Structure 1
Amino acid sequence: MALGMFSFLALCIFYIQVPQGQTGCAEVDSMTEAVAGKGFLLGCISCKRREEVPASAIVDWHFKAAGTEEFIQIFQYEYNNPTILHENFEGRLEWQGTMWTKDVQIGAIFIHNVTYNDTGTYLCTFHRTLYLPLYEEHVVINKEVELTVVEKANPELTAVISEIMMYVLIAVLQLWMIGVLIYCYRKIYAENEAREAKKAACSQNKLVESKDPCDGIYLE
């Protein structure tokens, strides 16, 4: 019995540690402060609400410089076809979103060699098509990022945010581990109780033949 309990706990721990084939999707806001001369990731995530529905998406990025009123299109991504659409960003934009499927949910782009002229509003637009059984549904999702370019990063703010996120992550992982171990323990305990009850019933009724309902239960 001890060996069985050990094996079950090992399986639980393995399940926790091994990444699952289908990861979850969380809509996290983009950072908004870039350092001149450095690279910067413009984040944009749009999670599909019904994972079981097949879909495809095209992602457009527009930019409105500080002090101006109109957006200009600077980038478009369609499955395996990233395209830079404005000369000011030529050679500086790199697709960092979903690449292995047409069902795009991460639409991030990376700006190389950020300049002060990159300060402004960035508009990320998902044009998603949902392939439902009887028809196709077209959905448009817009997300804005207000980007500020500074000479140097604020180390104090960065350190505080990093430390907070580290403690939050540690706490969440610990609670998750405790919850899974409690679940595993309860399941093992319930199985053991059921087995002991069956052994007691077999002992009481003296059912020891190999073909009776107690087959495989060894009495101590």
Structure 2
Amino acid sequence: MWLKIGSVLVFCLFFMCVSLCDAGCAEVDSMTEAVAGQRFLLGCISCKQREEVVAEASVDWYFTPSGLNDSVHIFNYEHPISIIMDKQFEERLEWQGTKRTADIQIGAIFIHNVTFNDSGTYECVIRRTLFLTVGEHKVEIRRTVELSVVAEANRELTAVISEIMMYVLIVFLQLWMFGVLIYCYKKIYAENEAREARKALRERNQLIDPKDGCDGVHLE
């Protein structure tokens, strides 16, 4: 349960970065452990240093299986077209990066139906062309993800943090409720004391009858 919560937090953070890529950019490292039979997000972010500079980019993903040295070109994206380059990943890769513009800063992809053969090293290459006033400037950025595939999800750091935060939240809520009860008790007690004081004052005023005295002289 906690692992799912942790995964949701990570995905939320990543998709927040994706959705805000037009207004700002934050580089977040990809997760590195996938579960067989599920889908996995290969993260790849490269932020421009100056947002006002017009640019366009293409993204290529390469895969080196565990125990091998030769990499394979598995995916290419040039706005708005994506191409799966390798049969091993046919119909299993889905573009999850920048979609609305050719100025790509998010180069993430989904791997659907992960298998144990998907373990290995993935390299994301973003080739960006900056259109400066003095001319074009080409930049190449590389991001590497070491992916391991497991049969069942392990308790990763995000899950542990999520669990700790959940317990902290529970304790905080309990303390808050206890504080509210004390506050309410004190408030009710103070109101009762004030009400009793007013009642006592009224009773005392009723005992002092102004007709008992004449011209300021009290009768005994």
Structure ID, larger Rg: 2
- Give 1:109 shift: 0.2
Question: Residues 139 and 163 (structure 1 numbering): CA distance in 2 closer, same or farther, change over 3 Å?
Answer: farther
Q: How does 1:66-145 map to 2 (within 5 A)?
A: 66-145=66-145
- Stretch of structure 1 that moved more, 72-81 or 158-167: 158-167
Percent identity among equivalent residues? 62
- Give 1:154 shift: 1.4
* Paired letter, 2:63: F
Question: Residues 76 and 164 (structure 1 numbering): CA distance in 2 closer, same or farther, change over 3 Å?
Answer: farther
- Give 1:24 shift: 1.6
Find the aligned partners of 2:63 and 2:131 in 1 and give their Cα distance. 30
Unaligned runs of 5+ residues in structure 2 are 1-18, 168-220
Partner of 1:27: 27
- Give 1:160 shift: 1.2
Unaligned runs of 5+ residues in structure 1 are 1-18, 168-220
- Give 1:161 shift: 3.5
Find the aligned partners of 1:138 and 1:68 in 2 and give their Cα distance. 31
Find the aligned partners of 1:45 and 1:20 in 2 and give their Cα distance. 12
Alignment of 1:63 with 2:95, yes or no, is no
Find the aligned partners of 1:73 and 1:142 in 2 and give their Cα distance. 14
* Secondary structure at the counterpart of residue 162 of structure 1: helix
* Count of residues in correspondence between the two structures: 149
Partner of 2:40: 40
- Give 1:21 shift: 9.6
Question: Residues 125 and 161 (structure 1 numbering): CA distance in 2 closer, same or farther, change over 3 Å?
Answer: farther
Find the aligned partners of 1:115 and 1:150 in 2 and give their Cα distance. 9
* Paired letter, 1:136: E
Bigger RCO (CA 8 Å, 6+ sep) = 2
Question: Residues 146 and 164 (structure 1 numbering): CA distance in 2 closer, same or farther, change over 3 Å?
Answer: farther
TM-score (structure 2 length as normaliser): 0.64
* Secondary structure at the counterpart of residue 160 of structure 2: helix
* Paired letter, 1:106: I
* Paired letter, 1:116: F
- Give 1:159 shift: 2.1
Find the aligned partners of 1:119 and 1:90 in 2 and give their Cα distance. 16
* Paired letter, 1:97: G
TM-score (structure 1 length as normaliser): 0.64
* Paired letter, 1:118: D
Partner of 2:201: none
